[in-house]
Structure 1
C-alpha cells in the first residue's frame, strides 16, 4: 500500500475546526471510538492527532474557529502550481500557499461548486 502522505492525488489528512476543540475531541472519541493523542509540534505546542492504530490520520485544530468544518487534505506534487491552476479554473483562494515548519506547504481553495479542499506537499516530499 502506498503512503498517502507521499502520493500525489491521495487524501492524506483530515482536520476538524470548530468553536470548542476540546468538546469536539471528546464527542468524536465517544461517537467513533477514536483514540486521540497529543502530538508535539516544533514550536513546543501539541496537536491532538486522531490515531488509527499507531498512525495519525488527522487531528483537531487546537484554536477555536468561528465556523465548524472538516477539511480534507490532498497530497500534491507542487502546492503553488496546483493552487494557481485551481484559481485559473475558477476556484477561490481561501488560504494562499504557506509553509508550516515541521509539516509542509499548504493551501486551501473553494472550488467553483462551493466545496473547500486543502492541498499539501509534506516536508518529506520536498527533498
Structure 2
C-alpha cells in the first residue's frame, strides 16, 4: 500500500477543530474507538493525533475554534502551483500557501461549489 502522505492527490490527513478539543477527543475515542496520542511538536506544544493501527491519520486542533469542522488535507506535488490553478479555475483562496516548520507547506481553498479543502506538501516530499 502506498503512503498517502507521499502520494499526489491522496487524502492524507483529517483534522478536527471545534469549541472543545478535549471533549471532541473523548467523544471520538468513545464513538469510533480511536486511539489518540499526544505528539510533541517542534515549538514545544503537543498535538492530539488520531492513530489507526500504527499510523497517525489525523488529529485535533489544540486551540478552540468558534465553529466545528473537519478539514481534509490532500497531498499535492506543489502547493503553490495547485493553489494558483484552483483560483484560476474559480476557487476562492481561503488561506494562502504558507510553510509550517516540521510539517510542510499548506494552503486552503473553497471550490466554486462551496466546499473547502486543504492542500499540503509534506516536508518529507520537499527537496
Same fold (TM over 0.5): yes
Instruction: Tell me, yes or no, if structure 1 residue 70 matches structure 2 residue 81.
Output: no
Partner of 1:89: 89
Partner of 1:33: 33
Partner of 2:2: 2
Partner of 1:99: 99
Partner of 2:120: 120
Residues 7-63 of structure 1 deviation map (CA, whole Å, 9 limit, x = unaligned): 000000000000110000000000000000000100000000000011100000000
**Does the residue aligned with 1:72 lie in a helix, a strand or coil?**
strand
**Aligned residue pairs, count:** 127
Q: Distance between the aligned counterparts of 1:16 and 1:126, measured in 2?
A: 26
TM-fit CA distance, 1:110: 0.5
5+ residue gaps, structure 1, are none
Q: Distance between the aligned counterparts of 1:119 and 1:38, measured in 2?
A: 24
**Does the residue aligned with 2:84 lie in a helix, a strand or coil?**
helix
TM-fit CA distance, 1:68: 0.6
TM-fit CA distance, 1:67: 1.1
Q: Find runs of 4+ consecutive structure 1 residues off by over 4 angstroms.
A: none
Q: Distance between the aligned counterparts of 1:66 and 1:96, measured in 2?
A: 21
Q: Distance between the aligned counterparts of 2:122 and 2:61, measured in 1?
A: 18
Q: Distance between the aligned counterparts of 2:49 and 2:23, measured in 1?
A: 15
Q: Distance between the aligned counterparts of 1:19 and 1:58, measured in 2?
A: 18
